[in-house]
Structure 1
Amino acid sequence: MWNKSLLIFIRYFLILIMIFGIVINRTNLNTAMIIFIFIFLINNQIRFFSLHKTFYKIVSFVIEFIFIIVAYKWIGGYLITYLILLAIDSNIFFEKPLKHIFNLGIILQGILLSLNETLEFKFINIALLIFVVSILYLIKDESDRKLEAQMLYDKLRVSEEKLKSANRDLEVYASSIEELTLLRERNRLSREIHDSVGHALSVIVIQLGAIERTIEKNQQTAKQVTKELRKFTQSSLNEVRMAVREIKPKEFENYEGILIIEELIKNFKKLTGVDVRLAFTKKKWPLNPDQAFVIYRIIQEFLSNSVRNGKATFIQIFMAFNDYKLVVTLKDNGIGVDNLVEGIGIKSMRERVTEIGGIFNYKTKVGDGFLVKIELDKLEKLKIHSKGDNNGED
């Protein structure tokens, strides 16, 4: 809290000034006075360097109060050096309210000891003493604030470590729960397959064996068994399809087009190392198959052209859904081109969007990359004939 080296320097500096003041103001020092000064200094140094218990420090402090009165009246010297030395110890060793009491006592002692002195002497000594005590209060308050801030920082750091540890534990727990849930789901699926598909296949095998045995002897019976087997097989197939539909999440069906686009971008990033960012608005609605197909092909074409022709290293794709339409914006940081002559790639993208009633626009300039903007209306049902893949250059 306090800089001990600096405090020691200040203490010895004040002691030297105090001794210097005694020497120049008292030329006839006798042995008793010198012994008294040594006792005074020994008490002061023992309190600073050796005493640790508050009670002993208080006793030493009170003794020095008395020593100052005796020393100043009997030996003389500079009053202010005695009092500043005492004020420093008061603010170092004691906390509130004891510190306030001692500081007030030091100021009163300075006033009392200077009663018989000149007005100028009183003003300089008392004003300087009050100023020093105020500075010591400010230093102590600032030190306390720093110490409090450090303690708070340490607590926050400990809390942060605890939170990190708790987060790791939660991640392990979540991973365990996820694994356990997966194992339970696999177990359920295995039972479903065993109970439904396994049973159906067993029955089919038995029925096929029966048909094999009766087909030569009684074709009519074999025909009837075959007819019943076909019905049973169809029924079992419907059960399998129903089970698959139950397993497959409804959200996947609604947003399957978007998920396929995400997979396309993920694979493209792995293969090329190009940074591709895909973002959506919070509100989304399901794409119908034709919209999903067109957007997929256009993104595929744009990614290919951006790297091959535009030498792009960063691509942004944003899909903005609202109540009536979807706006897809594709932008790269490629070299761009002025006065672009449309090639097969651009024409193919325009045709695809136009066929489902959308709007296609693009913009490019040298040094400004390539921008494509698509607007599609929100439609539930659209059917078009899928055109062949076209990876021509712009």
Structure 2
Amino acid sequence: MDFKNKNLYYLKIGMSVINFLILAFFSIVTGFTIHYVNQNFSARNFLENVTYLPMESVRMTVVTFVAFFLLLLIIEMRSRKKKNAIFTFVIYGMELLLCLIIIRCLYIGYNGIILLVVADIVTSIRDKHNRALFLVIMGLLYIFSDYNIISVFFKMISFQEFLNVYNSNISMILMGVRNMLVSLNILVFIVYMIILMRNQMKENARIALLNIQLETANAKLKEMNAQLQDYAQMQEKMGETKERNRIAREIHDTLGHTMTGLSAGIDACIAMIDFSVDETKKQLNKISKVARQGIQDIRRSVNKLRPDALEHLNLEAALEKMMEEMMEVSDVAIRYQCEVPVLKFNPDEEDAIYRVVQEGITNAIRHGKASNIEINIKKENKWLILSIQDDGVGCEEIKSGFGLIHIRERIQMLNGEVTYDGSHGFHIVAKIPIRWGENYD
């Protein structure tokens, strides 16, 4: 229990003690008055001056304190148990009933016990609607639990009529003690509400500060994410540039070496062709070997740009493997349909088809947040039609990024065309003029 809650807890205990003293005061005064009247044989005068017969004093006292301690027990038990709507209504219904019993036993001479229940309500009920409902009920009960109002409808003796038995000095002293205790109860209740409101204001200010700090942290986090994305893109571009330069150097070295050898060999042939045809033929054979070796070296360098899957599998198997791997590592469902017989495409065509499908799936998952992707390959006359449709967020205004630009460049290198549609998810349609090869067995 923290310091703020301790203050409220001690104030509630103080209110309980004050209410106990008030109930004891009323019980003692009414019980002693009835005993005093009987001892002085003035019962007849007392009965002639009261409007209604009082209850038996012992029974009244027992009922009052039983109801009071039950009320305290219910308040304590309610604070220790898990709350729900039905439990809350039952508990506060019981508290309301016990308050009515206590007020009735005190001849409507004291209704400050209601303030103890109100203090419990504003602390324990978190739901605003339920709290307002109970506060309205207890407020109305506090206002209308007045002897002057109740006596119009129900006949009962008032506390003042008990005091009329004594002389004016004793009557004034007893009424002063009663008013002092009632005022003390009201004062403690007011202090309780002030501290509760201050605690609530501090809590609201703390929550507002936490919200501001959270918003600031979110803004910084977004900024850091943007910086990380920029850094990742820069690293990716640097890696691509490094790899591109490496392959370019390898091709340059191979091609330069081959062309230098061819140039030197051709110069030698030119120099000796007029003197020895046989030696020229031998030299041409050597040039031919150098040229073939150079071609093989260049092809090997270029082939390093191909996807690894196409190095070991045919196009259809490579596509299926890529889709299966993507479905295994993500929640996306990919439905693939190929209406074209398995054909032997040229490497550049296979590369383009594979890369377009790969980029389409990547964009659908990364940018479109898609759950389902449909890929269809079919033939229309001399065209191969590749369609990639997803159910992602799409976009009304399509701005070509790195991936879409690469897709367009790859298709255009094959003299094809590509269109995009972001109205319902994202749809990519690529048309490629295929140099149809021979069927596989």
* TM-score normalised by length of structure 2: 0.38
* TM-score normalised by length of structure 1: 0.42
